[in-house]
Amino acid sequence: MFTVNDLRAESKQEFYRSLVEQVRHLMAGETNELANLSNVAALLNMHLKEINWVGFYLWYEAEQTLILGPFQGKPACIRITEGRGVCGTAAKSRQTQVVPDVLMFPGHIACDPDSRSEIVIPMVKAGRLVGVLDIDSPRTQRFDADDAAGLQQVVDVLLEGTEFLDR
């Protein structure tokens, strides 16, 4: 059985395999949206290096807006409309956004002026957008394809084991 401190790894792929197992363990038997999102944000914040913000924005269909959910880091923007900034772009395209330098991203929303790179993973369950996982780093080029693949696995486990409210 994994504990929170067992995420030593020799490669990034191995790190994410261990992280995914830790997410499974942390969520075992719990389907509540708020509880699972909160714990996963805390877990990611503990184990991802060189980040300054990690959290979730939840999709509100009637408003076509992402609204701030559980997170770790400085206070953040509360509402992001579809197509606006990196999170809104991920929500609209339903595709992961890996941004090496946020200052070069047209329309970037600077919630934290210290952020320099960002990755956003859309969360789609049964064909329905439920939110996005957003992670910022104070270092440019912090995230790559391995991070995108590993974090997608984290999101997949989260989606599989969590009941999301209709909004």
**Domain of 33, in residue numbers:** 12-161
* 167 in any annotated domain: no
Q: How far apart are CA 145 and CA 110, in angstroms?
A: 23
- pLDDT surpasses 50 at 10: yes
Task: Answer with the residue of higher pLDDT: 6 or 144.
Answer: 144
Q: Which pLDDT value is given to residue 2?
A: 30
* 32 in any annotated domain: yes
Domain count, the chain: 1
Q: Which pLDDT value is given to residue 8?
A: 65
pLDDT in tens, 70-122: 999 999 999 999 999 999 999 999 999 999 999 999 888 888 889 999 999 99
pLDDT in tens, 124-161: 999 999 999 999 999 999 999 999 999 999 999 999 99
Q: Which pLDDT value is given to residue 1?
A: 26
* 93 in any annotated domain: yes
Phi, psi angle pair for 101, to nearest 5°? -140, 105
C-beta of residue 112 within 8 angstroms of C-beta of residue 134: no
Q: Which pLDDT value is given to residue 127?
A: 95
Q: Which pLDDT value is given to residue 95?
A: 98
Q: Looking at residue 150, which CATH number applies to its domain?
A: 3.30.450.40
Residue 155 vs residues 10, 16, 56, 129, 148: alpha-carbon distances, Å: 22, 12, 11, 12, 10
* 154 in any annotated domain: yes
